[in-house]
Amino acid sequence: MAVGNPEWGDTKLQGALANLGHEIGRGTIAEMLKQSGLEPVPERGKKTTWGEFLRTHWNLLGATDFFTVEVWTLGGLVRYHVLFAIRLASRKVNIAAIIPEPDRDWMKKIPRNLTDCEDGDRYLIHDRATLFTGEFQASLESEGVKPVRLQCDHRI
């Protein structure tokens, strides 16, 4: 009940259980929620799980990351970094840019390429790579896209 109704506190859960014929004390309910890893109501309502965020915004989500390719050129073997974007709902992948060595200055300019590829996305997920700097995120926001940096605890 607590998972399906994140705004319900101990008292409301106690009442709902009583309606089903189960007499359980509020302290017991609070302890059971704690053991299940559920936060008290004020915190539970403020935090969005990763799954809830994805379900709610699926049609507005894109993601970006790098992969590398090695190419034999006249000068020898060159490693290129490929920045791509994927639209999650359609799974359409676009190559935003290819560069031998991306740096901070280059990353400040690249959000326009990403937003051109992913027309309609309002959230762009990226990992914690050092190239996704604060300037990169600010450039995305200036294009009307909210960056979503992946967190270690799976909450946004």
Q: Mind listing the pLDDT tens digit for each residue in 95-135?
A: 989 999 999 888 888 887 777 655 566 889 999 888 898 88
Q: What's the pLDDT at 72?
A: 95
Q: pLDDT below 70 — which residues of the chain?
A: 42-47, 116-121, 152-156
Confidence at residue 45, expressed as pLDDT on a 0 to 100 scale = 53
pLDDT at 42: 62
* Structure confidence at residue 81 (pLDDT): 95
Please give the pLDDT value at position 100.
93
Domain ranges of the chain: 10-47, 55-149
Residue 21 has phi, psi (to 5 degrees) of: 90, 15
User: In which order are the strands placed within the sheet that holds 146-149?
Assistant: 92-99, 76-87, 61-73, 123-126, 146-149
DSSP 49-87: BHHHHHHHHGGGEEEEEEEEEEEEETTEEEEEEEEEEEE
Angstrom distance (rounded) from CA 156 to CA 154: 7
Assigned architecture for domain 55-149: 2-Layer Sandwich (3.30)
